[in-house]
């Protein structure tokens, strides 16, 4: 019987720091509004030349080096992003080429903020069935090029940042204590338009992209913030408890919680509701904003670097996002 172990992680963020004050020069917003409602103080933005696969490459190279594997050992690249280099092919293909690899399988995951946990589940299943021994899993986003940074888009634009995180998963024996214990995945497509990117798209009339679409700002993400907020807390709590129950584990047994970073208030309310001590929740949102598919592997990387995530620890992750989709994972580091 096989299981998968997360043997190493890596992350990459652009050098350019964009503070809340910087944003207030572009749109009608201010540091107090953003900090109070989201906990975000700054985020990173790429330069004009950098793409999602570039950030993914940097994170992947760091994870590969930390794992001490040869890149040729990778049999599958699972790439989670909602900000692909191009509509097709998947960003995993561009990443594979930039890594100098050919032949291994690539698979893109489009489950937005739940993308990394969906990807973790996919990687875990491929390893458990014996199909692959080594998988590269990446979550990466370049949001800054796709945000409406005028006052019209301020409710969304202030929340998101650019970044990437990567993990190497390797086959291990199912009796190894360090392993992915379980993943749980859900979606409710009836809410797809509560947090989405309307255009360009095939569902907007005769043309995939039109001048009217650009003028109306349909090429920018739209969000029903209050609805997302309420559903996020409910669904993350539910799916976290589902994971614990499946493993006959209690909340007190968890050493560290690495939640998706959408909004500090979501994670604070979640912890409060479940009576999780705040010191067990590792947050990075104040520095990076919401990097969507990258938040959890960035959290893993920073927690390892800070000495907060150590070998043998029992970790729980949960995420919620566009779709709506939500997911959890329980793993021993
Ligand atoms: N700066 C200043 N004012 C703003 C801004 C801004 N950046 N954005 C909106 N406002 C204004 C609105 O125009 C509105 O003004 P009005 O009352 O005059 O119409 C007012 O602020 C709304 O304020 P609140 O009702 O207090 O807003 P709310 O408490 O709902 O907070 C927020 C908004 C932060 C977006 C909240 O709803 C939220 O965090 N939702 C969850 C969002 C989220 O986490 N999304 C991502 C998760 S999913 C994913 O990761 C893909």
Low-confidence ranges of the chain (pLDDT < 70): none
CB 46 within 8 A of CB 14: yes
- How many other C-beta atoms can be found within 10 angstroms of the C-beta atom of residue 253? 12
DSSP state of 326: E
Q: Pick the residue whose CA is nearest to atom 33 on ligand 1.
A: 225
Q: Measuring from atom 46 of ligand 1, which residue has the nearest CA?
A: 262
Q: Which helix (H) or strand (E) holds 261?
A: none
Evaluate: CB of 236 within 6 angstroms of ligand 1.
Answer: no
What per-residue confidence (pLDDT) applies to 168? 98
- What SS3 state is found at 140? strand
Spatial distance between the Cα atoms of 127 and 73, rounded to a whole number of angstroms: 14
Given 3-state DSSP classes, what are the helix, strand and coil percentages for the chain, each rounded to the nearest 5?
40, 25, 35
Q: Which residue lies with its CA nearest to atom 42 of ligand 1?
A: 225
Q: Which residue has the CA at smallest separation from atom 35 of ligand 1?
A: 225
| Per-residue pLDDT at 182 | 98
How far does the centroid of ligand 1 lie from the alpha carbon of residue 15, in Å? 27
Looking at residue 78, its pLDDT comes to 99
Q: What is the pLDDT of residues 309-322, one digit of tens each?
A: 999 999 999 999 99
pLDDT score for 305: 98
The rounded Å distance from CA 260 to ligand 1 centre is 18
Expressed in angstroms and rounded, the spacing between residue 144 Cα and the centre of ligand 1 is: 18
Ligand 1 in reach of 38 Cβ (< 6 A): yes
Catalytic site residues?
113, 260, 290
Atom index in ligand 1 nearest the CA of residue 322 equals 51
The pLDDT score that the predictor gives to residue 56 is: 99
- State which of 225, 284, 293 you would mutate to test the pocket of ligand 1, scoring each by most atoms of that ligand within 8 A of its C-beta: 225
Helix runs in the chain, H state only: 20-24, 31-38, 52-67, 91-98, 115-128, 154-157, 211-215, 225-246, 264-274, 285-288, 295-305
Q: What number does the ligand 1 atom closest to the CA of 156 have?
A: 35
Alpha-carbon gap, residue 224 to 196, rounded angstroms: 9
Give the DSSP H or E segment for 17.
Answer: strand 17-19
């Amino acid at each position: 019987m096989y299981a998968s172990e997360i043997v190493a992680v890596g992350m990459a963020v652009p050098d350019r720091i964009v503070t809340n004050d910087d944003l207030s020069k572009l749109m009608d917003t201010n540091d107090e509004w953003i900090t109070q409602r989201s906990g975000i103080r700054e985020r990173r933005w790429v330069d004009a030349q950098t793409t999602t696969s570039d950030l993914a490459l940097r994170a992947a190279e760091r994870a590969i080096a930390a794992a001490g594997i040869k890149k040729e050992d990778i049999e599958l690249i699972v790439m989670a992003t909602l900000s692909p280099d191009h509509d097709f092919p998947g960003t995993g293909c561009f990443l594979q080429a930039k890594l100098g690899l050919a032949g291994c399988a690539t698979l893109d995951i489009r489950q937005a903020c739940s993308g990394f946990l969906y990807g973790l589940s996919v990687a875990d299943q491929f390893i458990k069935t014996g199909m692959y021994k080594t998988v590269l899993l990446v979550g990466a986003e370049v949001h800054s090029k796709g945000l409406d940074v005028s006052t019209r888009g301020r409710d969304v634009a202030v929340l998101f940042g650019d970044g990437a995180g990567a993990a190497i998963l390797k086959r291990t024996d199912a009796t190894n204590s360090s392993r992915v214990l379980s993943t749980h995945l859900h979606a409710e497509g009836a809410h797809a338009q509560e947090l989405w990117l309307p255009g360009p798209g095939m569902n907007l009339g005769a043309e995939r992209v039109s001048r009217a679409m650009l003028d109306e700002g349909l090429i920018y993400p739209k969000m029903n913030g209050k609805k997302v907020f309420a559903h996020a807390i409910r669904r993350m709590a539910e799916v976290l408890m589902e994971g614990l129950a499946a493993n006959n584990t209690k909340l007190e047994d968890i050493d560290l919680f690495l939640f998706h970073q959408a909004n500090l208030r979501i994670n604070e309310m979640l912890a409060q509701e479940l009576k999780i001590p705040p010191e067990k929740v590792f947050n990075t949102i104040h520095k990076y904003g919401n990097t969507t598919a990258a938040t959890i592997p960035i959290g893993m990387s920073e927690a390892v670097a800070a000495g907060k995530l150590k070998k043998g620890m029992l970790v729980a992750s949960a995420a919620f996002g566009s779709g709506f989709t939500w997911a959890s994972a329980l793993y021993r580091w």
